[in-house]
Amino acid sequence: MINRVVLIGRLTRDVELRYTQSGVAVGSFTIAVNRNFTNANGDREADFINAVIWRKAAENFANFTGKGAMVAIEGRLQTRNYENNAGQRVYVTEVSVDNFSLLESKAESERRRAQNGSSSDQGASFGGNNGQAADPFANSNQNNNQSASSNANPFAANTNSEIDISDDDLPF
């Protein structure tokens, strides 16, 4: 049996990071995923998917993302239930995240945070599920140089020359 979910979308709000009584970090968030088609009015709709992420990955995800961040998440779909204060059984279906990827550059992320008015400290270390610390924005000098001139040709060999491609060179 297979239960894998891969989603790419934007966070609808900042990650809500909490800790269990035993000190385990848990983050909950909602990701908006655009549909591939438009409705009768020609508008593109989105699905809003709840997700939960645990342990060090939750802390890293909360530290390096925020409302509007473009992210990819991978995990499994799970359903849980509980009884609310009114005695009713409540069922919750969500993605339990095993892995995530940040899909925007550090510059884009900082620009979005400035527009949203968020000035939280983003100095924490980054690590995947293996617990090894690494910088998600490695090669920052290379990334900063490329992002400074967003219209620069990424295929040019550190020159401002254009690439000469004819229609015969294209595979389609």
In a domain, 70, yes or no: yes
CATH number at residue 19: 2.40.50.140
In a domain, 132, yes or no: yes
In a domain, 36, yes or no: yes
pTM of this prediction exceeds 0.85:
no
In a domain, 15, yes or no: yes
Supply the pLDDT for residue 161: 55
Based on the structure, what is the number of domains in the chain?
1
DSSP the chain: ----EEEEEEESS--EEEE-TT--EEEEEEEEEEEEEE-TTSPEEEEEEEEEEEHHHHHHHHHH--TT-EEEEEEEEEEEEEE-TTS-EEEEEEEEEEEEEE-S-HHHHHHHHHHHT------S-EE-TT--EE-TT-SHHHHHHHHHTTTS-TTSSSSSPPP---GGGS--
Q: Kindly give the confidence (pLDDT) of every residue in the chain, 172 residues in length, as a single tens digit, with 9 standing for 90 and above.
A: 999 999 999 999 999 999 999 999 999 999 999 988 888 888 888 999 999 999 999 999 988 888 888 999 999 999 999 999 999 999 999 999 999 998 888 778 778 777 766 544 433 333 344 333 344 444 444 444 444 444 555 555 555 555 566 666 666 5
In a domain, 159, yes or no: no
In a domain, 162, yes or no: no
Domain that holds residue 120: 5-149
